Amino acid sequence: MLENLIFLSAPIAACILLAGVLSYFGNHILSRGIIFIDIAVAQIAALGTMIGLLLGFTQESHWVEFSSYAFTLIVISAFALTKFQKQKISQEAIIGIIYCLGLGIALLLAEKIPGSSNYITKTITGNILWVTWSQVFHILLLFAPIAIIHIIFRKQFTKISDASKQSKLPYSLGRVRIYELVFYITFGIVIVKSVPIAGIFLVFILLVAPTAAITLFTNNWKKRFIWSWIIGFLGSLLGVYSSYTLNVSNGPAIVCILGIFVFVLAFVKLFKKATN
Amino acid sequence: MEILEFMLIPFIACLLLIGANVYFGIHVIKREIIFIDIALAQIAALGSVIATIIFEQFSIAQHHEYHGEDNYFTFSFSLLFCTIAAIVFSLLKNKKIKIPLEALIGIAYAVATAAAVIFLDKSAGGDVHIHDMLTGSLLWVTWHQVVKLAVIIGIVGLFHFIFRKKFFKLSDNYYKDKTGVKNKRFWDFMFYFSFGIVIVQAVHVGGILTVFAFLIIPASISSLYATKWYARIFIGLGIGALVTFLGLYFSWELDVPCSPVIILFLGVVLLLSLIIKRLKKPLKTFRK
Amino acid sequence: MKNRNLQQLFTATIFILFSMNMVPLSASGNGTLKVVCSFSDYASIAREIAKDKAEVEFIASGEQDPHFVPPKPSFAMQLKDADLWITTGLDLEGWSTTLLDKARNKNIMDGAIGFVSVSDGVNILDKVEKGDRTEGDVHLMGNPHINTGPMNWKVIAHNIAIGLMKVDPDNTAYYEKNRDEFCHKVDVALFGEELTQMIGGDALTKMLENHTLFTFLNKEYQGEKLIGKLGGWLKKAMPFRDKKIVAYHKNWAYFCDTFGLDIIGFIEPKPGIPPSAKHVQFMINLIEEQNINLMLVASYFEKKSPEMIEAKTGIHALFLPLFVNGVAEVSNNFELVDYWIDHINQTIK
């Protein structure tokens, strides 16, 4: 038993960190209704990696990683600037378009690069079980300043997220766009860092499911932040445990547990007699 | 003449796909459930995976190619799963559920993918490379498949035409309390169900990515130019046809799979449309 | 609206442009056969047998994942006027069925004389017993990565030669001669010139297949052990014979069987499915307990996961091209095996 815990210690630490950061962002994402943004970002990041490889850098070099980040941040900044008071095309639709164009270009470029199928969203797998303490440490280093930024601007971000369903902006358009820029750039960095470690589906579910679960029951931001972190972390733990005992693939196990949990809660809410 | 013979069937297939998807795309954008088709396609795929496994248990002979085989058993399972999904989604669009439906659709998508992986892991045979469903095999589509697609779209299309007023109202007023439609949940279910049927066959022919692009992009472009339903469908179809033509031609010339090329052209048209719109505005004020 | 007119004009222009630029029908050569293979390895062997009597092409590039090859229009055109289609014949080239369907070339469909299944007669490893599904294997008919075992090349060459002789019976003697020369070349490469002369390639191959070769070589002949006369790859591979390693996926079975590497575990036995926690822990323990320091990874896999495993366990991940042309300096099968053995020797120290 002790042996297992030692083996799982780094992955569990990674899960705590990722569950925390992702569930935090997830709350905002849910309120803004741009659910699939992380899948789009992951594909754009993959495309950025491909561009780096095409420019001649070797797979292991830092330049390729840099190109991935750079490309992602450029695209996501452009996206941040597409926020208008009245959206002709909704932001989720824009995300959809970015995703499918990104995937389309990746498929065309794929011919030129060996191992091309690895840059296509469905196959961006990762396995958090192989994570090492040094990687966990790196994640912490990267996420800490982002956390600080978000603590400083928490009021502004929550206000914009709350307002996204109405046509009225809480600040001037220019000011909103600057906040959006900061928000999405930090978000992009988090996603680009997390996906190679955890895989696209695990990142997605940690982003969406815990917050969906808690937002069914409350709209209070503080409660949502705390509970979504807890749910995300517990779900991951349970997933790893069942992956172990049932001998199933790890990421999918966590996804199924968290996902089904949300649906169960949704149906419970649906059939509850009266709202208390 | 070789290229024409080669491209004719794919071209017709594309026209059918665009026609159906532009219409549904407008609905989907209004309801803000953009990723529904990816979710439904994946859920249907899960259905066929499970069907294949069950089928295998009962078969003695060793088959070794399952994907791509149009098996009635797997097809009905896909349909069954789509139906269940349709029921779930129409039930969960409810005042009591305070999270956007898109979130539930997204979670359903992730779970369906994960479940498919787990089932495939536990079974024997069966290729896990689900991403050959991504771009589909538009260039290899056969008359048989095109006819099947046409029939399905025809039936569903007729159904939607007869009840068009209901469906228009439902989507236009999706986020209002009063939709003006009696038995809202039933018609909602019929929407998802009929949509699911079309998607399953469309994805078989064109692949998930192509169908998704056809769903979102022409409808988005049309929203820049018109607000009325018929006008938007028309514009979407026109653009779609042109882009398909160009896309098929260039995929042949450059020797690349055709779906990404078509998608790229759609993107280009969207960009051009946005730029034209931007330019029009200052021009207008200039004229005044 | 202005846009509609623009669209119409555009359409008309394109139509005129492209009808002026019709794709000409490809003329097949001056009596040379057109041979299309699924993989570059088979193409390399085919070239040695057909030499200038055929134009040999292949579809999957050397650094691609053999399980999945995205179809391009040109592939179907290549197949359309091919005389021979050379494929593994097990369930590896699932992607080829749609290509063959579209090409509509009756001569190369399964069962026709132009269809060559190179695995016929190869000693297939990892066959799944009927009814036994507990392993959940992807490849039900056994391990299809036969190109990694040089002994298999001789069988492949036989099958290709038969195919050539069926479609071009006039040159039978030519193909037979080239095939025999090729097989001899493989024997010499495997066992060394001396041993092949003494005992004969066929006998040696049989013994290698039955795993009785080294017991045989430990016998004495004229005062010294036969093993002293061993040359070629088998000699080169002696430093790592009987060593234990792990592999990322089951690509290397035939190579390891021939050269004595003992693969005791796979990281990702099913392509695309990440392993479970149990399996990961099992592998980590295995690697540590048995002191494994080499992991073979085909170069078409992405590097991130193997690198993570390296970091976690200290094992060395060796990325090797699975096929000819997978790396620039490997242009035929012999160079491929040289590459593999050299690199393994370098890493396993």
Sequence letter at residue A251: G
Q: Considering chain C, what is the average pLDDT of its residues? A: 82
Q: Do B6 and C73 touch (CB under 8 A)?
A: yes
- The answer to the question of residue C194 being in a domain is no
Look at residue B168 and tell me whether its pLDDT is greater than 90.
Answer: no
- The whole-number pLDDT of residue B222 equals 87
Q: Which residues pair with C225 in a beta bridge?
A: C220
Percent of chain B with pLDDT over 70: 84
Task: Please list, in sequence order, all residues whose beta carbon lies within 8 angstroms of the beta carbon of residue C281, skipping any fewer than 6 positions away.
Answer: A4, A7, A129, A244
- The whole-number pLDDT of residue B67 equals 43
- The whole-number pLDDT of residue C62 equals 81
- Dist. CA B193–CA B211, nearest whole Å: 17
Once rounded to an integer, what is the mean pLDDT over residues C104-117? Answer: 86
**Looking at CA atoms only, how far is residue B131 from chain A in angstroms?**
7
Q: Is the Cβ of A46 closer than 8 Å to some Cβ of chain B?
A: no
Look at residue C3 and tell me whether its pLDDT is greater than 60.
Answer: no
Residues C282 and C179 in one domain: no
Once rounded to an integer, what is the mean pLDDT over residues C260-283? Answer: 82
- Dist. CA C83–CA C105, nearest whole Å: 9
Q: Return the minimum-mean-pLDDT range out of B248-257, C52-61, C236-245.
A: B248-257
Q: Is the Cβ of B213 closer than 8 Å to some Cβ of chain A?
A: yes
- The whole-number pLDDT of residue B99 equals 87
Residues C161 and C86 in one domain: yes
Residue C10 or A63, more confident: A63
- The whole-number pLDDT of residue C157 equals 93
Residues C166 and C48 in one domain: yes
Look at residue B130 and tell me whether its pLDDT is greater than 50.
Answer: no
- The answer to the question of residue C85 being in a domain is yes
- The whole-number pLDDT of residue A106 equals 87
Q: Return the minimum-mean-pLDDT range out of A39-43, B111-115, B168-172, C124-128.
A: C124-128
- Dist. CA B3–CA C300, nearest whole Å: 33
**Which residues of chain C are within 8 Å of residue B6 when distances are taken between CB atoms?**
73
Q: Do B257 and A90 touch (CB under 8 A)?
A: no
Residues C177 and C242 in one domain: no
Name the pLDDT band for C186 (thresholds 50, 70, 90). Answer: very high
Look at residue A70 and tell me whether its pLDDT is greater than 50.
Answer: yes
Residues C149 and C52 in one domain: yes
For domain B2-287, the CATH superfamily is ABC transporter involved in vitamin B12 uptake, BtuC (1.10.3470.10)
Q: Is the Cβ of A219 closer than 8 Å to some Cβ of chain B?
A: yes
Name the pLDDT band for C276 (thresholds 50, 70, 90). Answer: confident
- Tens of pLDDT, residue by residue over C192-219, are 888 888 888 888 888 888 888 888 888 8
CA distances from C171 to A67, C78, C167, C177, C181 (A): 55, 24, 10, 10, 16
Q: Return the minimum-mean-pLDDT range out of A163-177, B80-94, B130-144, C319-333.
A: B130-144
Question: Which C residues, 255 through 274, put their C-beta within 8 Å of a C-beta on chain B?
Answer: 270-273
Q: How many domains does chain C have?
A: 2
Q: Locate the DSSP E strands across B19-171.
A: none
**Which residues of chain B are within 8 Å of residue A255 when distances are taken between CB atoms?**
110-111, 113-114
Look at residue C335 and tell me whether its pLDDT is greater than 60.
Answer: yes
- The whole-number pLDDT of residue C29 equals 46
- The whole-number pLDDT of residue C106 equals 85
Q: Locate the DSSP E strands across C72-194.
A: 84-87, 115-117
- Tens of pLDDT, residue by residue over A124-151, are 677 788 888 888 999 999 999 999 999 9
Q: Do B97 and A215 touch (CB under 8 A)?
A: no
Residues C242 and C146 in one domain: no
Q: Return the minimum-mean-pLDDT range out of A18-27, A222-231, B69-78, B248-257.
A: B69-78
Sequence letter at residue A164: S
- The answer to the question of residue C13 being in a domain is no
- Tens of pLDDT, residue by residue over A242-251, are 888 888 888 8
**Looking at CA atoms only, how far is residue B128 from chain C in angstroms?**
6
Name the pLDDT band for C30 (thresholds 50, 70, 90). Answer: low
Q: Do B62 and C272 touch (CB under 8 A)?
A: no
Once rounded to an integer, what is the mean pLDDT over residues B254-282? Answer: 84
Q: Do C277 and A240 touch (CB under 8 A)?
A: yes
Look at residue B60 and tell me whether its pLDDT is greater than 60.
Answer: no
Retrieve residue A156's tokens: 């502004």
Residue C339 or A108, more confident: C339
Domain boundaries, chain B: 2-287
Residues C149 and C287 in one domain: no
Residue B150 or C90, more confident: B150
**Which residues of chain B are within 8 Å of residue C130 when distances are taken between CB atoms?**
62
Residues C177 and C262 in one domain: no
Retrieve residue C233's tokens: 């790859």
Q: Do A125 and C305 touch (CB under 8 A)?
A: yes
- Tens of pLDDT, residue by residue over A45-57, are 989 988 888 887 7
Find which of B77-91, C9-23, C58-72, C83-97 is predicted with most confidence, using mean pLDDT. Answer: B77-91
- Tens of pLDDT, residue by residue over C304-333, are 778 888 888 889 999 999 998 888 888 899
- The whole-number pLDDT of residue B45 equals 85
Q: Do C273 and B128 touch (CB under 8 A)?
A: yes
- The whole-number pLDDT of residue C61 equals 82
Q: How many CB atoms lie within 10 A of CB B165?
A: 10
ipTM: 0.90
Q: Number of residue pairs across A and B with CB atoms under 8 Å? A: 158
Q: Do B124 and C72 touch (CB under 8 A)?
A: no
Q: Do B239 and C130 touch (CB under 8 A)?
A: no
Residue C126 or C251, more confident: C251
Percent of chain B with pLDDT over 90: 17
Domain that includes residue C176, residue range: 33-123+138-183
- The answer to the question of residue C65 being in a domain is yes
- Dist. CA A18–CA A36, nearest whole Å: 18
Name the pLDDT band for B128 (thresholds 50, 70, 90). Answer: very low
**A216 close to B99: Cβ distance less than 8 angstroms:** yes
- The answer to the question of residue C240 being in a domain is yes
Residues C176 and C253 in one domain: no
- The whole-number pLDDT of residue C4 equals 59
Name the pLDDT band for A167 (thresholds 50, 70, 90). Answer: low
Name the pLDDT band for A188 (thresholds 50, 70, 90). Answer: very high
Residue C224 or A258, more confident: A258
DSSP codes joined into one string, C200-223 = -HHHHHHHHHTT-HHHHHTSEETT
Which among B99, B115, B118 has the least Cβ separation from residue A30? B99
- The whole-number pLDDT of residue A33 equals 86
- Give phi and psi for C247, each to the nearest 5: -130, 155
- The answer to the question of residue C54 being in a domain is yes
Look at residue C19 and tell me whether its pLDDT is greater than 70.
Answer: no
Q: Is the dihedral of CA C96, C102, C105, C109 positive or negative?
A: positive
Task: Please list, in sequence order, all residues whose beta carbon lies within 8 angstroms of the beta carbon of residue B12, skipping any fewer than 6 positions away.
Answer: B146
Look at residue A110 and tell me whether its pLDDT is greater than 80.
Answer: no
Residue C295 or B3, more confident: C295
Look at residue A41 and tell me whether its pLDDT is greater than 60.
Answer: yes
Look at residue C234 and tell me whether its pLDDT is greater than 70.
Answer: yes
Best probe of the B interface among C1, C3, C87, C276, by most B CBs < 10 A, is C3
Nearest CA in chain C to A241: C277
**Looking at CA atoms only, how far is residue C308 from chain A in angstroms?**
6
- The whole-number pLDDT of residue A86 equals 67
- Give phi and psi for C120, each to the nearest 5: -60, 120
Once rounded to an integer, what is the mean pLDDT over residues B206-226? Answer: 88
Once rounded to an integer, what is the mean pLDDT over residues C254-260? Answer: 91
Set out the domains of chain A in order of their start, with CATH numbers: 2-271 (1.10.3470.10)
Residues C168 and C235 in one domain: no
Q: Do A100 and B217 touch (CB under 8 A)?
A: yes
- The whole-number pLDDT of residue A108 equals 83
Which parts of C168-314 fold into alpha helices (H)? 172-191, 193-199, 201-209, 213-217, 232-236, 253-259, 277-289, 304-313
Residue B156 or B57, more confident: B156
Question: Which B residues, 51 through 70, put their C-beta within 8 Å of a C-beta on chain A?
Answer: none
- The whole-number pLDDT of residue A232 equals 94
Task: Please list, in sequence order, all residues whose beta carbon lies within 8 angstroms of the beta carbon of residue B278, skipping any fewer than 6 positions away.
Answer: none
Residues C37 and C176 in one domain: yes
- Tens of pLDDT, residue by residue over B86-107, are 999 988 888 788 888 999 999 9
Look at residue A203 and tell me whether its pLDDT is greater than 70.
Answer: yes
- The whole-number pLDDT of residue A123 equals 63
Read off the CATH number of the domain in which C179 is found. 3.40.50.1980
Q: Do B29 and A93 touch (CB under 8 A)?
A: yes
